[in-house]
Structure 1
């Protein structure tokens, strides 16, 4: 199963190839270069404009890539050292080793052989640094991650036993895998969920069990991969809107969770945010205690009030069994 490439990844590959291509062809016509690189003239000109602000740290005169346009032709006049052999200092070499080890651990990478070859070359050049005690592992059971990856590569549908944290429940569902990817620090399976009749993201560490079915994975034509540029959770107007009054001790939630609006008032902030499930919001906000006061929606306010009263009743109720002082039982 091939990995779906993102537009940013495609553009990075073009830019890395563009400078040596133009260096070998001074004065080439833009139309000819666009045809060779399989892009439109407009896209090529946009790539060239981006190259103008790329170069070496310092980013002043003599540091940036420069080029000259003569009519419809283009020539690289300063390559900012891109044609020189790469020389890494110890910190740079170690950073590349760690990054490539992480990339090799990433599920769904189609060019794994190329990654391993590049890693072997850099480890050889880095010498003793390559043996530094740096372990790179994704935050999911490696055996499970490898097993799910192999199941996805089989091209068949899967039956999942999946824990949904937002609703605090475990469900069974049949899915048609589309790709595996890593977002932030978590590995995900993206698939068409037949139960939800929509594309869904399944965190690998929340898949309790799975079975490979004897039928091919066939996502419908309308199954479109999610745009991960802004993360997994993309709040929309269809989700419940929660309104909070947050004291100083709870302001950290505006940095860790997507919020729609923050109004600073004396001594507190008025925060509005979208949530996928009011049950999850209840459990999350009760745990914040007095740092947060929920003002809406009314059903969430009532759920939190009921949960708080139930907790107080547990403290107030006498113990059903008292220990015998003589026996300790």
Structure 2
């Protein structure tokens, strides 16, 4: 696969120090090294020729000579060396990359670690004081199952999954149509249309035992693809949280929605509900969410929302009664 080409701005910023270090290089050779055509390089040089310092008088503009097919730099306008990351920029990039490496399935681990090494080499070991180093205790190899899932999402291919359900303590096989990847609380989820359940489900990466890309395209329903699972909300202190009770026959919710159990599942009686905590975006969304489970999920600590659920359920029941035919 061909490497991605740099943007024109990136190329222009690097060209002056590049040509200064290679004064007299031919346009053809420079074009090959920069990954562009001679025609495009000539256009770039013509643009650089009218760039420079404020004032924009002849002595302020970058001076280049390239009319004879060779490039010579007369005046750099201060662009004498390639741009370098500042300490803050390098720290931000390194922290973000290391967080991605530690989140299962998000990126190619080996590629991310190569990027970390290049940044550290570019800024120097002492340029980012106090930043912890990477954990090299494990080899820089990506989980092949994670790679298969990511590639299926990227290429739009259906998947056959062998998936472990934590609440049921069982493994099932199913064919899914990938939609997108979602990340929350250092866990990566595959959002997909499950053909067995005939609905959108979330599959946590670290619970996918095996994944096989099928020789068919991913074909989730249009409405499922258009609206992401909005329950995937970050632990944002500005967002409210609610306690819910979930009946035993609906504990599969723990696998598909990022809820946090408050009571240990192992410590309860088999017929007792499980209490969980969930962050939500709005009362209206939470009301619709609870209504969708027909009483098997109940709001525990928000009386106003519980009342809203009851009112909405009563109105729906009344509409069904009014639309039902009269019986003798």
TM-score normalized with structure 2 length? 0.39
Q: Which has the larger radius of gyration?
A: 2
